[in-house]
Every structure is written in C-alpha cells, then in structure tokens.
Amino acid sequence: MLPTILDLASLRAAYAAGLTPLDLVEEVIARRKASDDPAVFITETPDDDLRAAARALMERAPEPNSLPLWGVPFAVKDNIDVFGLPTTAACPAFAYQPEKDAAVVARLKAAGAIVIGKTNLDQFATGLNGTRSPYGAPRSVFNKAYVSGGSSSGSAVTVAAGLASFALGTDTAGSGRVPAAFNNLVGIKPTPGLVPNVGVVPACRSVDVVTVFAATVGDGVAIRKVMDGHDAGDPYSRKASPVALPGSGLRIGVLEGPEREFFGNTAVEALYDQAIERAKSLGATIVPFDYAPFRQAAELLYNGPWVAERLAAVKAFIGTNADDFDPTVRTIIEGANAYDAVAAFEGQYKLGHLRQKALVEWEKLDVLMLPTSPTTYTVEAMLADPIVKNSHFGRYTNFANLFGYAAIAVPGGFGSDGLPSGVTFFGPSFSDDALAPFADAMHRAAQSGMGKDKTAALPEASKVAEPDDGLVTIMVVGAHLSGMPLNHELTGPGGKLVKTCRTAGDYRLFVLPNTTPPKPGLIREPGFEGQGLEVEVWKVTPAAFGRFVQNIPAPLGIGKVTLDDGAQVSGFLCEPYAIKGAQEVTGLGGWRAYIASRK
C-alpha cells in the first residue's frame, strides 16, 4: 500500500520491498481517474504509454532503485517540452509538437523518472493565481473554493494530491513558490542560470527559472541536482560557484513595521510570526531589515519595462492571434507597448540602484525569511479583480530573480481558516544547497505534513544534513561568554557564536577562588535536580581549538557536556576537588547572572 503522498523515501522503500514501476504506473492511472480536480492536466500521458515507459525502464535498469530517480513519477508544466506530448502554454492556438524533450526533462528521464502528463498553468506563465487558462482553474487541495496559486497551478496540485512524486514548474515572479504555499508543499527555486531553460517557452527569458515542487526539501534538492548543469543552448545558463552559509546561528532577516503587509489576512500574519519563533528555537538570530528596496525592485517586474520581455516571447503569435489570449494575460502583455528602449535602460539603472541598497541590508543578514504569499483568495474573488489581487501574491516574490537569488519555499502550518501558508528563504546567488538544511529543519518543526496529508511525518531518509564546515564546536560557561573578559579568545581567531542555550538540569556552578578574571567551575552531579545553566555554544577552527585547549589552566579542562536538548558538546568542566569551600551560584542560573549580582 502506497502512502497518500509519493515522497521519494516512501517510494524507494516500496520498490525495495517488491513494488515494480509497472505497479506504480497502475496506481498513478487509478489516482488520475479518481481525481476530483478536472483542471489539473492539459494532456495526460496515455495509460499505455505509461506502461510502456515502465517496462522500458525495467529493461534498461532492472535493479530496483539503481538509478537516482528509478521509477519516480513526475508531472511537467505545459510550457516545458516533453517529446510525444503537445506544448500549449495554456493557449490551444499556440500548441505545437516538440521535436525533443526540454533539457531538464531529458536529464530527469535519464535518471529513471517517468512523465505522467502536462499540467495546467496561467496562460504563457503570466500570473500567480491559476485562473487564467481556457482549460479551467485548478483548486487548492484543501478548499475547492480557493485558488491553487500559479502560474504553475496544475504542477503543485499533482504533487499535493498524490498523483506524482514531484512536478516541474517555472518561476519568473513567484510561480514556483506561491502554489507550493497554497498546497502545503516545498518549492525549490534555483539561482537563475543554474538549471537550463532549453525547451522552455519563455515568459521573461532573462529571469525565467525551472522549479521543483516536492514533498520535502531533501526530495526537491535531490531532483534539482539531477537537472543542474551548464547548457550552452541557453544564453542565460551559468556555471555554478556554490556559496556557503553559516551552518548554524543564521542571521535571518524578517519583516517589521510598515513593510509588513498581509492585506487583512490575520491568519497568514499569525503563521509568519509563528515561523519567526520557530526559527529562533532552531538557533537563528532574528534581524529586522528594510524591505523597501526589495519591494521597489519587485514592482519593476510587472510595472516596469520587464513586461516587454513577455511581449518579446510571443510577439509574432500575438500579432496574428491576439483574440486567442486570455483577456487578462493579453492586457498585461500588450501593456509592453507603453515602454521603449529608453525605458528599458532606465529600468536597468533603477534596478542597479535598488540592488546597491539591498546589499546594504545584506551586510547584517545571511538569509531572508518572508511570507511566501501574504494572503490567498477564492477563485470567485480573483476573477472579480484579477490584476490587483494577483499582485498581492507577488509582494514578497517578484524581486528574487531580478536580483539573482536562490530561494526555497517551505510549509508553515495551517491558519484558523484551515488553509496552509508558508515562508520562503532567500539567499545569494548559488547558495541553493546552503539554504537547504535550515529550510528543511523549519519544515520539520512546523509539523504540517506533506501536501494534502497534514499528519504525515517527514521521512528521516529525506533529512538534509548540515554541511561539514570543518569547524570544532565548544561550549563556554564563564569568562568566555559574549561580552565577558576572555571572549576575545574566541572572536579573535574567527570563532562564530552558534547559540545560547542551557545545560541539562544536573549541573552545578561554583565561583573558583583566586582567579583573575573571575572564573566558574562547572561540575555534573547525577541526581541533582536543577533548571540548567545558561551557556553559549561556539564554533572555532581546529587550530584555534588546539591553542585554546592548550592554554586552559587547571583545575579546568575540556569534557563532554550534555545540553537541555540532550545533545553533547565539548565544553569547560572543573575537577571536583577545586570546588571545596567555593561559593555555589547554581541558583542564579548562570555566570552572567552572577557577575550582574556582584555589581
């Protein structure tokens, strides 16, 4: 029996236990027929073609899980070419039969994945809501009255409904993130240029990105890595130069003041505040920042000359087939006629100035954490006010590709209205892998399940491990704490504060006599029932750690200290003989409180 959501770990376990790709496609066929949303697919892969693909895979690679994506079913947004299926971009008059697979589809097929169909979208990928298609409007898997998000509407729903393990979308303004938030999924938006766009119908060619909808961050990153790689056929393809982020103690930028705009949706605002608290509990440092330059850049995408790129993508077709366009999409694209070449350069200049202002904010941050969408709407409300309400969805997404950022959207729980929301983490170009561990930890901490299965536990097999930064962890309890006299011995060689926390409850703290500056003695006494003591966990280079340990005076030494979460780290301990007759300060809760009491 397969689970509701076809995450990679569950599917691989089923294959290892005897399931075959042919069994899997029969299950997919059955689930497609039972689907209660007829607008999800534009073209389904025919049943017999699915069976043939499964048999061909078993002949090519007979051993279960012998390819990275062996027998994994996936759906493809219908602006990405799949050989044998038409590409429509949600415009029947535009449809054509591609001569070959898009570059990303070819790479996924080579890794063993099986295409189950082409999914619905806002026409020509122009929209964030999913209602701008002659093939109908896919709906949120949690409430059919609400939009699914767009433009990658059908792709998100296929994964959230359990029809596919993952799906491809595209993202120019947020189309790979907003549908993820509305359907309790992960949305992986690579750095522009990391994944090739060969075989993709462009929206804004210079900033388009192929994205992944997946059940977990681990799944999404693994799939994205199959698609990665420079392709000279894409003029904007780039060779990756991976960027690292701190493994822990991230400085996370969050919204405050007038830049916090949720358009009256208090449920989403409450979930964002919960996400901030969740990030703190995972060791992040929360840093309010000025979102204004990011917002002003976001406004350029639809209210600036970049809309002319949308016209460039379909210039010949709209010249002969304007009446075949969705009315809202046509209005947006024809708005490009208001801009000339001078306006294009002026837009670039403005973006450059805003990028410089954004860099000032990045000096105090490692990543941004923003609401993926500040609100959601019913299909009825969206159709009544399609441009203004659509723009609300893009308030915290539109800037990302203009600035060249990597982004990962993760679920953030369910509001009082029963609808999901989420947050997106943004990092510098090519920080794609570095963003993943914390984004994964946030998804797990939210305990919101995967897709429509709100109670599903995220598999341990998909957990994203922290990168090995080569640093050594050390816990300090006294004069080496931040702001204390010996803290420079950590900061001088480049040490990084990971977190402030407490020890387990059976530790006691004493003032060691005749020490300058005053130093504490920490001992463990099994059976002692205390509240734990405030400590700090730092990371230093191995060389700095060696010098540090060499200079520790007796009766102090380094041993394993258990923290209140059960983790064990190397830290300062004292030999028991040294505390005879010493003043105990355990009841104060830590060395910092003791020093304050002396003053």
Cα distance from N-terminal residue to C-terminal residue, the chain: 66
Enumerate the β-bridge partners of residue 475: 537, 571
DSSP 8-state class, residue 127: -
Enumerate the β-bridge partners of residue 175: none
What's the gap between Cα 478 and its chain centre? 37
CA contacts within 13 A on the Cβ side of 420: 35
Q: Is 350 a catalytic residue?
A: no
CA distance 83 to 489: 62
Say if CB 380 and CB 416 are below 8 A apart: no
CA distance 474 to 556: 14
Which residue of the set 175, 237, 248, 431 is catalytic? 175
Q: Is 151 a catalytic residue?
A: yes
Counting beta carbons within 10 angstroms of the beta carbon of residue 316, is it exposed (0 to 12), middle (13 to 18) or buried (19 or more)? exposed
DSSP 8-state class, residue 374: S
What's the gap between Cα 382 and its chain centre? 26
Interaxial angle between packed helices 292-303 and 307-321, expressed in degrees from 0 to 180 and rounded to the nearest 10 = 20
Which residue of the set 77, 109, 519, 539 is catalytic? 77
Strand order in the sheet with 583-584: 520-524, 507-511, 583-584
The DSSP secondary structure of 312-352, one letter per residue, reads HHHHHHHHHHGGGS-HHHHHHHHGGGG--HHHHHHHHHHHH
CA distance 499 to 502: 10
DSSP 8-state class, residue 369: E
Q: Is 429 a catalytic residue?
A: no
Residue 380, Cβ neighbours under 10 Å: how many? Answer: 11
Helices H / strands E in the chain, number of each: 19, 21
Strand 367-371 to 420-427 pairing: antiparallel
Which residue of the set 133, 140, 148, 151 is catalytic? 151
The DSSP secondary structure of 381-449, one letter per residue, reads HHHHSHHHHHHHHTTTTTHHHHTT-EEEEEEEEE-TTS-EEEEEEEESTT-HHHHHHHHHHHHHHHT--
| Rounded alpha-carbon distances, angstroms, from residue 257 to 105, 289, 299, 335, 394 | 43, 10, 19, 33, 19
CA distance 310 to 304: 12
Active site amino acids: 77, 151, 175
